[in-house]
Amino acid sequence: MATVKDFRNDIRPNWCPGCGDFSVQASIQRALASMGKEPHEVAIISGIGCSGRISGYVNSYGFHGVHGRALPTAQGVKLANRDLTVIAAGGDGDGFGIGLNHFMHAVRRNIDITYITMDNQIYGLTKGQHSPTSAHGFKAKTTPAGNIENALVPTQIALAAGIGFLAQGFSSDVNQLVSLIEQGINYKGFALINVFSPCVTYNKINTYDFFRENVKNLDKVEGYDPTDRANAMKTIIETNGFCTGLIYRDDSRVPYQNQIPGYREEPIVKLDLNLDESVFEAALKEFA
């Protein structure tokens, strides 16, 4: 059985020392090993940005896509090979900026993939511009007088769009994050795990201490029911999105692939796709 070491490779991450993404990577590796997965059973699809590099840092199948397009690729991979554990990964800019439209449709389709977003409220790779999740008044290189746009709250949008599995973690709480990733992978449908992953270089506001002081851990809220959608939305609004743990889960939703007429149990990649010559000739005659 694979261990955490089996999900490591010889590529050294070039994230800044202290970046929250290190913990996200370690949590993914720990979760996969704990679940008994093997590297060849996993595909990690990422977009652009510091977080987008994660597909090259985990020993598994990987695809580093273009900005905002991790989800379309991940959905295609899952439909082509339903046996793979497919994880899409990206940042708040990649996922909730240029990729927001893809995110909304991924929620709607409910294809069985896990989407892990590393939310640091800033564009780190391009040197510190404000992002869709930056707070109103946030000062950055593109907003020296303060951000005049309201912050997008990913969990609120996801829940409003009808997501079936919604969780949020903090890169400083690895044990909780590992558990959330395991639950998200086991969920039969689209799962979002948004992770507060501080940028230690360019964001001096949303720091580790900021999240420790402002985040409400739902695991410690007695009687919290993650199957109560209305209460989940109320909690997100009351905390302005600053809550961690399993926020909402609905096991009644049917995965997309289970609703496709004629969708084979055997993955496409394992089928004999060679076309019989007589079938080919018959098809040509239709256009003669």
pLDDT tens profile 65-76: 888 899 999 999
* Cβ burial 222-239 (10 Å sphere, 16+ → b, else e): eebebeebeebbebbeeb
- CATH assignment of the domain containing 113: 3.40.50.970
pLDDT above 80: residue 288:
no
pLDDT the model gives residue 59: 97
pLDDT above 90: residue 1:
no
**pLDDT above 90: percentage of residues in the chain:** 85
pLDDT in tens, 276-285: 899 889 889 9
pLDDT above 90: residue 269:
no
What is the average pLDDT value for the chain, to the nearest integer? 95
Give the count of domains, the chain: 1
Tokens of 215: 């985040």
Q: Quick one: which of 40, 20, 58, 43 has its CA closest to 185?
A: 43
pTM of the entire structure? 0.93
3-class DSSP state for residue 231?
A: helix
pLDDT the model gives residue 276: 87
pLDDT above 90: residue 42:
yes
- Give the mean model confidence (pLDDT) for residues 215-235: 98
pLDDT the model gives residue 273: 82
Q: How far apart are CA 62 and CA 83, in angstroms?
A: 15
Domain membership of residue 80 as a residue range: 4-286
- Give the mean model confidence (pLDDT) for residues 41-70: 94
Q: Count of alpha carbons within 13 Å of 254, Cβ hemisphere only?
A: 4
pLDDT above 80: residue 118:
yes
Q: Judge whether 278 and 135 are in contact, CB under 8 Å.
A: no
Alpha helices in the chain (DSSP H): 21-34, 70-80, 92-93, 100-109, 154-160, 174-186, 208-214, 229-239, 277-286
